[in-house]
Chains A and B, each alone.
Chain A
Amino acid sequence: GAVVSQHPSRVICKSGTSVKIECRSLDFQATTMFWYRQFPKQSLMLMATSNEGSKATYEQGVEKDKFLINHAGLTLSTLTVTSAHPEDSSFYICSAPVGGGTDTQYFGPGTRLTVL
């Protein structure tokens, strides 16, 4: 079945550095992908919509210059956390609708980011 992968699964970085997280749709094309963030013991919050070939759209309160999203192909979206700070430490999850008239959407396994 359709699967969404993320890489890396865990990353630890120093404050001020940038971190790139990849989200790939396997076995299907995803012109749209979504990025969510989940803080400990909290629910998932939608950060942005990644659109293939065009600019991402960000939810209110999410800094687009801090969370850079690139969706150059039909199976890959990347989220770059620029100049990461400890408060950016979180669990980042991407999702991709399967499309084709279905309402099915698959979520990646998530990436745990820890900023020291």
Chain B
Amino acid sequence: SQELEQSPQSLIVQEGKNLTINCTSSKTLYGLYWYKQKYGEGLIFLMMLQKGGEEKSHEKITAKLDEKKQQSSLHITASQPSHAGIYLCGADMDSGTYKYIFGTGTRLKVLA
């Protein structure tokens, strides 16, 4: 079965520092989604990547999908306390089904 592994599991950074979260799949991804979740709350959609080599940015967050479509990275530049939360990568189990599997999550804490 397909699995998504995220690294690191947790991350504590000083405000202003850059950081990267990785998401690796055991199989080729049809689509890769990044979400942010605050503890005990729903998911906030960040970005969707579908094409090999694709890169998207929104404010200080950049996500990339490698050419083989098996690995994605999420990069935050000049982190702020508002970036704190749990970052989850998700992927379609099958193309177009919207049935997602999720990575194990990365807990980010940003120290002011």
Contacts and interface: CB of A to CB of B under 8 A. Distances in A.
Contacts of B43: 44, 93, 95, 107
B101 A46 contact: yes
Interface string A22-59: 00000000001010100000111110010000000000
A103 B104 contact: no
Contact of A107 (B42, B101, B105): B42
Contact of A103 (B35, B48, B103): B48
B34 interface: no
B42 A109 contact: yes
B7 interface: no
Interface in A69-113: 91, 93, 95, 97, 103-110, 112
B56 interface: no
A110 B103 CA distance: 18
A107 B35 CA distance: 10
A44 B33 CA distance: 13
A91 B31 contact: no
B39 to A, nearest CB: 9
A31 B90 CA distance: 21
A102 to B, nearest CB: 10
Contacts of B50: 103
Given A43-B105, A103-B50, A34 B41 contact: no
A80 B105 CA distance: 27
8 closest residue pairs by CB, A with B: A109-B42, A107-B43, A43-B102, A97-B98, A44-B102, A110-B42, A107-B42, A43-B104
24 contacts: A34-B98, A36-B100, A42-B104, A43-B102, A43-B105, A44-B43, A44-B88, A44-B90, A44-B100, A93-B42, A95-B43, A95-B100, A97-B98, A103-B31, A103-B48, A103-B50, A104-B45, A105-B45, A105-B100, A107-B45, A109-B41, A110-B40, A110-B42, A112-B40
Interface of B: 31, 33, 35, 40-43, 45, 48, 50, 88, 90, 93, 98-105
